[in-house]
């Protein structure tokens, strides 16, 4: 194939122009216009034509910018895309992502004399461990208690790693001494050797990918069992019930994994508090269980997750990639090759955007961005709680300070509630996802963008929810003189549950 000259600088300028045209910085739409979707769909080729009539680079570029870009969602550009928690691509992450695409590193083997990529990934994981409080107070992040760590593709990848390690642990402690690892024996052979007839996963309202992960690692979706505190608080893990189950299964052929949500996907509420977590740790140690904590977070481009475990040996027992001399790193390397601690061998440099955000913002900047998200969520929760048109779920009398970054609501008018998601999203100035709670439709507002401006965004959310509830047209606030701006690193004061706030 002949090389084609391509002016990357000019292309980036064209991208900027296209984004400004279709996603104006003053008020970027959350969703594309239906006409843009129709045009993009019509521009897609039939398979028989596309390969026999290539466009070339210039025409393909024009096709991407003129047809495809206008039909994409504005989830990364709008501060009020409250559907998937995508992070909105922080500027430092966007710059790093350009480097990732330009140099296309394959970050699978630790080769410190050839590329700095795995060192950067290890540094990013050190920074994350420190930020999340997973470092050892004396020895620091790299030699901390969570010695097994890697970047994953997201929630599903991380949950697969977690349940695979859990499976390894609960079976390894039951097989005869000196037996090969579960990774060597396979789950059937290991279960026979260990005398295990079943492995159960005790949880409450786990992320949907938890059941998917259970299927992938051979436990089965039916292994995931709900242990809710009560029907009124189904997100809370009943630690007493967990203990009763562990006692009942002790000495039998049933092994147990405990999966804790931090937090539940519809409400953001945590399945267990600090004291319950201490008790779960004690129970897991006593009965040989494994604790897996699943949480969703923010900031880097989508398709980026992180996984930490206390047991590097368990992680490598499962994921070691053998019999490939060309993929070997030097013996005794301080950084394990990523292909031996995760699912993929072929890995893009997804750690670089995360590293860039951490270096750009530091602890205070990260806290400030998260603080704005929490502040906005609590302002919205208070508005919904006090509204005559909406119910704040799951409990309208809950403490607002328990709200993290998710608000769950429902319209009191059932007819409106049936179409509430569509009515909100058709404004294209705010996007929410539909869900179900207590057998009825509900709206989930998940705030995960670094672009949050509490005053600006709350004014828009309030205006949209009010207009929709009152059955009147919504007039975009950007056309009423509200100034739009992106902000990084500005702190907010925490509310006291009354929803009054001071803006520094």
* Residue 489 pLDDT > 70: no
* Residue 313 pLDDT > 60: yes
pLDDT digit string, tens, across residues 155-207 = 999 999 999 999 999 999 999 998 998 989 999 999 999 999 999 999 999 89
pLDDT digit string, tens, across residues 238-291 = 999 999 999 999 999 999 999 999 989 999 999 999 999 999 999 999 999 999
How do strand 254-261 and strand 198-203 relate by DSSP bridges? parallel
- To 5 degrees, how large is the angle CA 465–CA 469–CA 473? 80
* Amino acid 298: pLDDT: 63
pLDDT band of 396, cuts 50, 70, 90: confident
How do strand 440-446 and strand 406-411 relate by DSSP bridges? antiparallel
| Residue with the larger pLDDT of the pair 183 and 445 | 445
Residue where the block lists tokens 């607002």: 400
* Residue 300 pLDDT > 80: no
Do 179 and 273 form a contact (C-beta atoms < 8 A)? no
pLDDT band of 322, cuts 50, 70, 90: confident
Length of the chain (residues): 504
Provide, rounded to the nearest whole percent, the portion of the chain with pLDDT above 90. Answer: 76
pLDDT digit string, tens, across residues 33-43 = 999 999 999 99
Going by the DSSP 8-state scheme, the letter that residue 195 receives in this structure is T
* Residue 500 pLDDT > 50: no
Domains present along the chain, CATH in parentheses: 8-30+32-72 (no CATH), 365-480 (3.90.1150.10)
* Amino acid 224: pLDDT: 97
* Residue 316 pLDDT > 90: yes
Q: Which helix (H) or strand (E) holds 435?
A: strand 433-437
* Amino acid 479: pLDDT: 45
Q: What does the mean pLDDT of the chain come to?
A: 89
| Residue with the larger pLDDT of the pair 142 and 118 | 118
Segment 426-443 shows an average pLDDT of 96
* Amino acid 485: pLDDT: 46
């Amino acid at each position: 194939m002949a090389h084609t000259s391509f002016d990357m600088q000019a292309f980036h300028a064209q991208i900027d122009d296209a984004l400004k045209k279709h996603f104006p910085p003053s008020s970027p739409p959350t969703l594309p216009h239906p006409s843009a979707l129709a045009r993009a769909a019509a521009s897609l080729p039939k398979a028989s034509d596309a390969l026999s009539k290539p466009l070339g680079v210039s025409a393909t570029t024009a096709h991407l910018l003129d047809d495809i870009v206008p039909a994409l969602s504005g989830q990364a550009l709008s501060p009020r895309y409250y559907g998937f928690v995508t992070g909105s691509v922080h500027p430092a992450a966007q710059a790093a992502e350009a480097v990732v695409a330009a140099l296309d590193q394959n970050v699978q083997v630790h080769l410190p004399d050839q590329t700095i990529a795995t060192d950067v990934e290890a540094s990013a994981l050190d920074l994350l461990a420190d930020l999340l409080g997973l470092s050892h107070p004396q020895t620091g992040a790299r030699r901390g208690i969570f010695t097994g760590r890697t970047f994953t593709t997201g929630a599903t990848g991380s949950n697969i790693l977690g349940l695979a390690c859990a499976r390894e642990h609960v079976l390894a402690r039951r097989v005869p001494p000196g037996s090969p690892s579960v990774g060597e024996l396979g789950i059937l052979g290991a279960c026979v050797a260990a005398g295990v007839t079943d492995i159960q996963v005790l949880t409450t309202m786990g992320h949907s990918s938890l059941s998917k992960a259970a299927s992938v690692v051979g436990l089965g979706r039916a292994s995931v069992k709900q242990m809710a505190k009560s029907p009124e608080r189904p997100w809370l893990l009943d630690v007493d019930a967990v203990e009763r189950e562990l006692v009942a299964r002790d000495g039998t052929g049933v092994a147990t994994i405990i999966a804790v949500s931090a937090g539940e996907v519809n409400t953001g509420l945590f399945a267990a508090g600090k004291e319950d977590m201490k008790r779960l740790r004690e129970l897991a140690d006593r009965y040989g269980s494994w604790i897996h904590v699943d949480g969703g977070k923010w900031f880097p481009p989508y398709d980026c997750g992180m996984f930490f475990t206390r047991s590097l040996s368990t992680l490598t027992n499962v994921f070691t990639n053998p019999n490939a001399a060309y993929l070997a790193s030097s013996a005794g390397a301080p950084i394990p090759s990523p292909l031996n601690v995760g699912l993929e061998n072929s890995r893009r440099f997804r750690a670089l955007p995360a590293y860039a955000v951490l270096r750009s913002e530091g602890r205070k900047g990260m806290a400030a961005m998260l603080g704005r998200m929490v502040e906005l969520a609590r302002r919205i929760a208070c508005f919904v709680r006090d509204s005559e048109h909406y119910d704040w779920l799951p409990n309208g009398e809950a403490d607002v300070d328990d709200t993290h970054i998710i608000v769950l609501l429902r319209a009191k008018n059932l007819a409106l509630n049936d179409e509430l998601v569509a009515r909100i999203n058709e404004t294209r100035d705010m996007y929410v996802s539909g869900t179900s709670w207590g057998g009825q439709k509900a709206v989930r507002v998940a705030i995960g963008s670094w672009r949050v401006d509490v005053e600006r965004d709350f004014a828009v959310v309030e205006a949209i929810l009010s207009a929709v509830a009152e059955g009147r047209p919504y007039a975009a606030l950007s056309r009423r003189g509200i100034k739009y701006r992106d902000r990084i690193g500005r702190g907010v004061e925490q509310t006291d549950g009354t929803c009054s706030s001071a803006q520094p």
